[in-house]
């Protein structure tokens, strides 16, 4: 079974500060973020403390072929920036998600954004899993991750049923 890891809200906040520093150091001034929901919503909001730019959002759902019996994995739009708001045309946007895992969702979203009239499209993820990727990111898009992590299942605090138990497990994992 896949190993698991628990991150607290404090862990997430610290990593996002590092992520913001990397984005700022790149020299590109991003005009707005596009959060990929649901996982990208809370990271984008925390990132806004450091980058001070507005947040737009899209939401997707991912269907894993291995578990549904379908041959291919597919991503569906739940909500989209369609039509693209005038305020975003020609602007540099930073696409924000919580995790770079298989890249299937990221590839889908970035290919859709690449068709639009944007300036630079950057990608910012909290956790970059070191593993073989199914999806491919479009060429030439600046990529930032807060930290690289092993290919373990990450338990995010916003998914917790019991946040105190979640934090206890996160503490324990630090001690081990």
Backbone angles phi, psi at 18, to 5 degrees: -65, -40
* Active-site hit among 11, 97, 100, 101: 101
Tell me if residue 101 is catalytic. yes
Which of these segments, 14-22, 26-34, 48-56, 91-99, binds ligand G4P (CB under 6 A)?
Answer: 91-99
- Residue labelled with tokens 């305020």: 87
Q: How far apart are CA 128 and CA 94, in angstroms?
A: 16
Residue 12 is a binding residue for ligand G4P (CB under 6 A): no
**Nearest residue (CB) to Mg ion, 29 versus 63:** 63
User: Within 58-77, which residues bind ligand G4P (CB under 6 A)?
Assistant: 60-62
Strand order in the sheet with 32-37: 74-79, 55-63, 32-37, 93-100, 121-129, 143-149
Would you tell me which residues interact with ligand G4P (CB under 6 A)? Answer: 37-39, 60-62, 97-106, 135, 153-154, 156, 159
Catalytic residues: 101
């Amino acid at each position: 079974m896949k190993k698991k890891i628990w991150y607290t809200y404090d862990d997430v906040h610290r990593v996002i500060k590092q992520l913001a520093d990397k984005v700022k150091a790149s020299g590109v001034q991003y005009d707005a973020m596009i959060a990929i929901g649901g996982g990208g919503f809370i990271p984008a909001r925390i990132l806004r403390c450091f980058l001070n730019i507005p947040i737009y959002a899209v939401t997707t759902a991912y269907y894993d072929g291995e578990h549904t019996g379908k041959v291919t994995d597919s991503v569906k739009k739940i909500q989209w920036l369609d039509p693209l708001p005038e305020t975003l045309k020609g602007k540099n946007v930073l696409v924000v998600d919580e995790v770079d895992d298989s890249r299937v969702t990221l590839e889908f979203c970035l290919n859709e954004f690449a068709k639009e009239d944007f300036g630079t499209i950057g990608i910012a993820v909290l956790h970059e899993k070191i593993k073989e990727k199914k999806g491919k990111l479009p060429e030439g898009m600046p990529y930032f991750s807060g930290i690289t992590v092993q290919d373990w299942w990450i338990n995010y605090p916003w998914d917790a049923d019991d946040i105190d138990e979640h934090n206890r497990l996160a503490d324990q994992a630090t001690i081990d």
